[in-house]
Amino acid sequence: MERSFANLKIIKTRLRNSLSEEKLKAFMLMNMEKSILHSIDLEEIIDVIKKSSDFLNKELSY
């Protein structure tokens, strides 16, 4: 728990408290669950996002 508060301090300092509470919670969760994030296939996520709109499909295609 102590590490979580230390990480929170770092995140809040870097972003200069400009985040909403909801986004701050999301970043904290991602920070605590790094091992899960590292196992996610980013190409799969990009494919899902590309399917959500023509604009995103165009912007994310290479």
Residues 32-44: tens digit of each pLDDT: 898 998 999 999 9
- Intra-chain end-to-end CA distance of the chain, in Å: 41
> Would you say the pTM of this structure is higher than 0.75?
no
Domain residue extents for the chain = 2-60
pLDDT at 14 over 70: no
For residue 50, which amino acid is it? K
Six token digits for residue 10: 């770092």
* Distance separating alpha carbons of residues 10 and 14, to the nearest angstrom: 6
